[in-house]
Chains A and B, each alone.
Chain A
Amino acid sequence: MRRMLQILALTVMLAAAVTWLATGADIGWTKTTKPNGTLDEVTGIVDQTPVKCFVAGVDFLALGFGGAALLAGASVFFRKPNTNNQQNDQ
């Protein structure tokens, strides 16, 4: 169980870091939309209509790292596998 939680913590941390990097390593807040940006050629107005787009921000990264820290911390409460007993049995 201890090892499983540690692996899970590492996975969560890596997943958060990879997602943050893959979506542009944005140092602002997480965004779920961005402006359309299309130019209306007749009027010259740039369309600001929001379109769906996920950009992970520092809050996403902090949440991922925080979750990983909690999982790693929780693993402390589980006992280490008793290797001495195994050695003695042999």
Chain B
Amino acid sequence: MKLTHFVPLVSLATVVCAAPESFDFKDPKGVNNVVFKLDAPLESINGSASGISGTVSFDPENPAATSGKITVASGSLTVPNPLQKEHLHSANWLDVEKYPEITFETKSLANAKTDGNVTTADVTGTFSLHGVSKEITAPVTLTYLKDKLGDRVPNLKGDLLVIRASFSINRNDFNIQKGKSEDKVADVINLTLSIAGAAAKP
């Protein structure tokens, strides 16, 4: 093979190897979750959501170029008290029938710093809840686990990407009982995201 033929092949291989991976966040083990916490007079309301899906494009060689969209099924939000859960899903609060999805779509990553397989950054994106979309920025940690998919899901080869983020939103900003019941349920909602996505390889 002539050198002139070899060079484009090597370039192509480099491009293929450096291509970002697409991670699917529909977790077969079902542990992906968002935990939410709101202050209330008797005790804080702690709940979680598990109906998570979406894809994130991540390039281990260029984590700052990470992009994607994560969706949470509103109906999967749960709290330990059945009456509170009923209220949470009702038309007065989240109205899960009318607004079945909560989404976050990335716009950009800033201040990306990588140490080994862990990247920290500030992600900016559009957060949509209860029919309202707002741009928010939150600190995020991305942990790239190369060839670890098989350790979680037998008979599958590939990589894992673990995303963790903590941020707060105000329910008034999303028209959730705006200006009402603030003596019973705080305006600020603290959210903690812990999700793992898989990029399977043949």
Most buried by A among B33, B78, B80: B80
**A23 interface residue, CB < 8 Å from B?**
no
A residues less than 8 Å from B143 (CB atoms): 44
A residues less than 8 Å from B152 (CB atoms): 40, 42-43
**B43 interface residue, CB < 8 Å from A?**
yes
Candidates A31, A42, A55; contact of B148 at CB < 8 Å? A42
The size bracket of the interface on A is 20 to 34
Contact A43 B81 (CB under 8 A): no
User: A55 to B46, alpha carbons, bound, how many Å?
Assistant: 15
**A49 interface residue, CB < 8 Å from B?**
yes
Contact B33 A47 (CB under 8 A): yes
User: A27 to B42, alpha carbons, bound, how many Å?
Assistant: 8
Q: Chain A interface (Cβ within 8 Å of chain B)?
A: 27-35, 38, 40, 42-50, 55, 57-58
Q: Chain B interface (Cβ within 8 Å of chain A)?
A: 29-33, 35, 42-43, 48, 50, 78, 80-84, 143, 145, 148, 151-152, 160, 162, 194-196
| Given contact pairs A31-B81, A42-B148, a sample of 11 additional A-B residue pairs in the complex whose CB atoms are under 8 Å apart | A28-B43, A32-B81, A40-B29, A40-B31, A42-B151, A43-B162, A44-B162, A46-B31, A48-B50, A50-B80, A55-B80
